[in-house]
Structure 1
Amino acid sequence: MRIVTRLIAMNRSRQLAKQLREIERQIHALPKRSRARLGTMALREIGQASRSDFPHLYGTPPEERYLPWGQGTDIGLARARSDNAEIAMRGIALWLAVAYHETKNTPHPSMQPHHRDLMRLLRGLKEDHREDPMQSWMQAPAAA
């Protein structure tokens, strides 16, 4: 049974690696202002997922609750490929949230590098959010 579990984890790891590369390309193609906004959206999605019963199954229909992994990354990736910028950003945020919870504290060594890559990507979004000029403008005291 352990061999089967390892094979399933390796297959899932390969699938996540491929999706992560595509998500990274899409994030780097966004303008800096949109990346700052995406960071906020991703943080919100991660928080909402953590409040659910099964965070790694966030975005998965209830009837598919007992699968080894959910459909959230597939749904997020499909939305991320949308021509509509808002839908694409929401899809990327969903993908990041589900992948974060799926790879966090994983016992499978093949999944751990993906969590590190994901954390690096989220840190980059956080830095873009901090450097956003609109953020400092909104925080500045009003001139009287």
Structure 2
Amino acid sequence: MQIMTRLIALSRAMQLRRQFREINKTLELLPPAARRQLAGIALREFTSASKSEFPHLYATPPEEKYRPWGSGTDIGLERLRSDNLQVRLRGVALWLTVVFHETKDSPFGEQQELHRQAMRCLRSLKEGVPADDLSRWMIEGAEAA
């Protein structure tokens, strides 16, 4: 059973790494204003996901909750391929949120590395937002909760 679990985790890590390359390329091409927007959207997605019973299954339809992993990353990637900038930004934020929660406590090295890469992306988004905006978003998020 351990071999099967390891094989499933490895295949999932490979799939997420392929998707991450596309996400990362999109992030690199975003202008600063869009990156600030993305930071705000990502903060809202993280807030919503953290309120979920299973954050790694965030955005997954209820009938699919017994799959080994959710469909949030696939939905995020699909949105990323949209022509509309807002939809693309929401897709990136959703993808980063789900991958963060999915890989957070993983015992597998490949998924831990992916978690670190997602954290780097989130940190770079956070660093691109002025401190005043960030604190205002945090206050608004706390009030909404």
Structure 1 length-normalised TM: 0.89
Name the SS for the 2:39 alignment partner: helix
Name the residue aligned to 1:32.
Answer: 32
Deviations 1:73-116 (A, max 9, x none): 00000001100111111111111110110011112222000010
Equivalents in 2 of 1:11, 1:131: separation in Å? 39
Moved over 6 A (4+): none
Name the residue aligned to 1:61.
Answer: 61
* RMSD across aligned positions (CA): 1.5
Indicate the structure (1 or 2) with the bigger Cα radius of gyration. 1
AA aligned to 2:12 is R
**Count of aligned pairs between the two proteins:** 134
Structure number with the higher helix fraction is 2
Name the SS for the 2:109 alignment partner: coil
Name the residue aligned to 1:113.
Answer: 113
Deviations 1:8-51 (A, max 9, x none): 00000001111111001111111111101101111110111011
Q: What are structure 2's unaligned runs of at least 5 residues?
A: 137-145
AA aligned to 2:111 is M
1:128 aligns with 2:128: yes
AA aligned to 1:100 is F
Identity of aligned residues (%): 54
Shift of 1:131: 7.7
AA aligned to 2:127 is E
Q: What are structure 1's unaligned runs of at least 5 residues?
A: 139-144
Structure 2 length-normalised TM: 0.88
Greater relative contact order: 1 or 2 (C-alpha under 8 angstroms, separation 6 or more)?
Answer: 1
